Structure 1
Amino acid sequence: MSAPTLHASPQPVPTAAPQPTGWPLLRLGFRPFYLGAALFALLAIPLWVALFLGHSTLTMPLSPLLWHAHEMLFGFAIAVIVGFLLTAVKAWTGLATPRGAFLAALALLWLAARMAAITGPYGLYALLDLTLLPLVAAILTRLLLRARNRRNLPLAGMLMLLALANGFFHLGVIGAIEMSPLTPLYAALALIVMIECVIAGRVIPAFTMSATPGLKLTVSVLVDRAAMGLAALALLLWVFAPAATAWNMGAGLALSLAAVAHVLRLLQWRPSITRHRPILWILHASYAWLPFGLALLAAARFGWIANSVGVHALAIGATAGLIIGMITRTARGHTGRALQVSRPEATAYALVMLAAATRVLLPLAMPAWLPMALVVSAAAWSLAFAIYLFIYTPWLLQTRLDGKDG
């Protein structure tokens, strides 16, 4: 009887990764939205300064002040948040986020709203402006639920709250409700700051450790929870507490405590060790504006300074600073490039910090110098985003260096 024949198990034949398809700009959410946000930032601030100083007679559906405040939140910041989340949710869930024609439709919806804000009519502007956030929130919620990723569902919830604030803004503008349009804008800024607190708490310590060999950060859960809770309470009181002495004292105290808590939170992340790594120090420096802004809002509630000082500390120093840091880092990572920025990119970081310091500190020290502060701050801001566009536009329009999709 012959010996049985032994057959080797067939080895799986490696399959090549699928080749990317479609226009690179429309393969992942960060590409069109980062590009649009940076271009809008470059153009919108000089236009606002020209309107404020009387050098432009452009007539818009909104007053120049409301246009500036609304569009920097729901035009600039929201574009970055949407681009970031449409990209991050794919990584968090492993599920495909909008791409191709669907992504193009979302980006064009955002762009159409920005154009309608200048050209009108107001009803069309409001309709376009109110559509994007609920749509994106629904997309993200469906994906997160499908992947059973409930940890990140609050971020989709925050998008819906932002959509609600936007709705109240438009209702206030047309007089359908008795509410100053500034109140929902302050609420939107507060929600964006809370999103920053959540995302920064995840990425800043992680990025710092990954870039610093041997570093192990010890982050106190108590400090983190206290910082988040106090910030939520303080910002809630700042937005909605009546302008009465007792409420002002309570809001001012809450804002002060929140500022201290966020200083302690930042110190846990060892910001001093990042000074030679621009891609890190921009995140730490920007986050430092958050407690500073909260402290300035507290001072405003105590009646010592104008409210706008704290608003711009949060809007430029914290929000725009974190944005320029994240849209460089994430764009580098998702286009297959090294997480090491060039000197021009570091210059862009410094220019955003200069824009914040000039807009916040110069009028605080010399109120009569506000026009000069606006011009200098706008110039620094626009140059920063011009640098970003010069470097990143080709990258955002091209396939990843490693040939992967995304």
Structure 2
Amino acid sequence: MGRRLRATAAVLGDEALRLFFPLAALHAAAWPLLWVAVYGLDLPLARTVPPSLWHGHEMLIGAFGAALLGFIFTAVPEWSNQDRPRGPVLFALAGLWSVGRLVGLVGADMLGALGALADLAWLGAIVVFLAFTAVRQRALGLRGFLFWIVALWLGEAATRYGFLTGDLHLAKTSLWLSVLAFTAILGLALARITPPITNRILDPDLASTPFRPHPGRRNLGPILIATAMAGTIFGASAAVDGFLLIAAGAAFMDRSAEAFIGRAFFRTEILALGGSSALAGFGLLLVGASRLALPVPELAGLHLLTMGGLGLGVLSVFAIAGKLHTGQPLGLELPVKGAFLLLVGGTLARVAAAFDPTTPSITGLLHLISALMWAGAFLVWLRCYWPFLSRADKPEEGSARG
């Protein structure tokens, strides 16, 4: 048994996605179920920080944070043609990430400083790695990721400071800015991932590149996200915030138009990547509409943005990269396709709960349905991909490039 565990650990430590994607999936599945079914939307040790802020923080920095670690430390070495971090480095980062999650598991305000130091350390490691790679390899294309992860680090630092000092307005505002930073990172990631995957689907032999994305869409969403963040930071009115968020949402909705590539549009990979942009965009539109005093609950837009846009984007990366980096042909099995439906269904159930919070029995049922479907999506993915991720099969040379 010990030999088998060591062999599995060696495989997981060989590439960041093999370690961090399963961690992200487990956390994404377990946390909402604990939050809804066990804690009853409360946390046992939360005293100063409202449980809802802990919940949002743990989903963003916890589940999506692990996905970010796996993505950056796998994709960036590939894009810049350098050796990827392995073994002790990856397990050390996983240890830091885990410290923050143990603190957030019960909302332990008294251990907030420990959790803050751990989370800021692994986020800082991503910043240092990106900066070093960009300078050493003269990889100018990494500047966007570097900018937004620095913004995410600053947002996390401000959020944790608000947690520690009891400045809940600062904590809430900073957490929202972190959501926007993650959304911008999603936009950059989709800009890098979508074209090669689309071309691989249109021409499996990779003899041509029939799909060429519109250059104006590449960075429009992140740029408008930056504008919306500037409005929040410099104290723009709610109406100005609303219009800026609507503009950013429109950019993400426009980005989803690249999914219309003929009959191949109905491939799950294309639908998922395009759907991630669309749900993120629609979520931003709803938040913007709420801030313009329209009868739309902001919480509905927030969950459509995070669970729908970010969640679908993360699951798409899990499914696509998990295939290409373990020597599997592109193409998703029926259970994985079902996982995408579960995630979208769970998102819609949570959005519906935000639209009708006045009936506790119905709202509670919708929360439970949402948590079960969301957890099911990530557990199905993990069940299907764990055999590939935990064994030492190597992809063919260049099979994961793009």
Given the alignment of the two structures, is residue 345 of structure 1 paired with residue 345 of structure 2, yes or no?
Answer: no
Of the three residues 113, 129, 138, the one matched with 2:128 is 138
Give the aligned length: 382
Of the three residues 335, 341, 353, the one matched with 2:326 is 335
Output the CA distance in 2 between the equivalents of 1:118 and 1:228.
31
Given the alignment of the two structures, is residue 387 of structure 1 paired with residue 380 of structure 2, yes or no?
Answer: yes
SS in 2 for 1:380: helix
Given the alignment of the two structures, is residue 294 of structure 1 paired with residue 284 of structure 2, yes or no?
Answer: yes
Output the CA distance in 1 between the equivalents of 2:172 and 2:357.
25
User: Aligned-residue CA RMSD in angstroms?
Assistant: 2.7
- 8 Å contact kept, 2:195–2:212: no
Given the alignment of the two structures, is residue 59 of structure 1 paired with residue 42 of structure 2, yes or no?
Answer: no
Given the alignment of the two structures, is residue 316 of structure 1 paired with residue 327 of structure 2, yes or no?
Answer: no
Distance 1:176 1:58, change over 3 A: closer
Output the CA distance in 1 between the equivalents of 2:366 and 2:262.
29
- Corresponding residue number in structure 2 for 1:370: 363
Cα deviation for residue 84 of structure 1 reads: 0.5
Distance 1:205 1:307, change over 3 A: same
Distance 1:31 1:224, change over 3 A: closer
- Corresponding residue number in structure 2 for 1:354: 345
- 8 Å contact kept, 1:334–1:400: no
Greater CA drift, 153-162 or 189-198: 153-162
- Corresponding residue number in structure 1 for 2:214: 220
- Corresponding residue number in structure 2 for 1:11: none
- Corresponding residue number in structure 1 for 2:3: none
Output the CA distance in 1 between the equivalents of 2:209 and 2:278.
21
SS in 1 for 2:393: coil
Identify unmatched segments of 5+ residues in structure 1.
Answer: 1-19
Greater CA drift, 326-335 or 109-118: 109-118
Of the three residues 263, 269, 273, the one matched with 1:283 is 273
Output the CA distance in 2 between the equivalents of 1:110 and 1:67.
15
Given the alignment of the two structures, is residue 231 of structure 1 paired with residue 225 of structure 2, yes or no?
Answer: yes
- 8 Å contact kept, 1:51–1:64: no
Given the alignment of the two structures, is residue 50 of structure 1 paired with residue 37 of structure 2, yes or no?
Answer: yes
Output the CA distance in 2 between the equivalents of 1:303 and 1:157.
32
- Corresponding residue number in structure 2 for 1:83: 70
SS in 1 for 2:170: coil
Q: Percent identity?
A: 25
Of the three residues 141, 149, 153, the one matched with 1:159 is 149
SS in 2 for 1:181: helix
Partner amino acid for 2:369?
V
Cα deviation for residue 216 of structure 1 reads: 3.3
Cα deviation for residue 177 of structure 1 reads: 5.8
Distance 1:111 1:360, change over 3 A: same
Output the CA distance in 2 between the equivalents of 1:263 and 1:271.
16
Cα deviation for residue 240 of structure 1 reads: 3.5
Partner amino acid for 1:262?
F
Given the alignment of the two structures, is residue 28 of structure 1 paired with residue 18 of structure 2, yes or no?
Answer: no
Output the CA distance in 2 between the equivalents of 1:384 and 1:355.
9
Greater CA drift, 313-322 or 126-135: 126-135
- 8 Å contact kept, 2:183–2:310: yes
TM-score of the superposition, structure 1-length normalised?
A: 0.86
- 8 Å contact kept, 2:123–2:153: yes
Cα deviation for residue 41 of structure 1 reads: 0.9
Output the CA distance in 2 between the equivalents of 1:219 and 1:308.
33
Q: Once the two structures are superposed, what CA deviation does each residue of 1:196-223 show, in whole Å capped at 9, x if it has no partner?
A: 1111122223322321248834543335
Greater CA drift, 255-264 or 369-378: 255-264
Distance 1:300 1:105, change over 3 A: same
Partner amino acid for 1:159?
I
Greater CA drift, 215-224 or 150-159: 215-224
Identify unmatched segments of 5+ residues in structure 2.
Answer: 1-6
Output the CA distance in 1 between the equivalents of 2:334 and 2:369.
22
Cα deviation for residue 173 of structure 1 reads: 1.2
- 8 Å contact kept, 1:51–1:58: no
Q: Once the two structures are superposed, what CA deviation does each residue of 1:283-323 show, in whole Å capped at 9, x if it has no partner?
A: 11121102201110111111222221111111011000010
Rg bigger for which structure?
A: 1
Of the three residues 68, 77, 86, the one matched with 2:55 is 68
- Corresponding residue number in structure 2 for 1:188: 178
Partner amino acid for 2:328?
R
Output the CA distance in 2 between the equivalents of 1:97 and 1:140.
12
Of structures 1 and 2, the one with the larger relative CO (CA 8 A, separation 6+) is 1
Partner amino acid for 2:287?
L
- 8 Å contact kept, 1:241–1:251: no
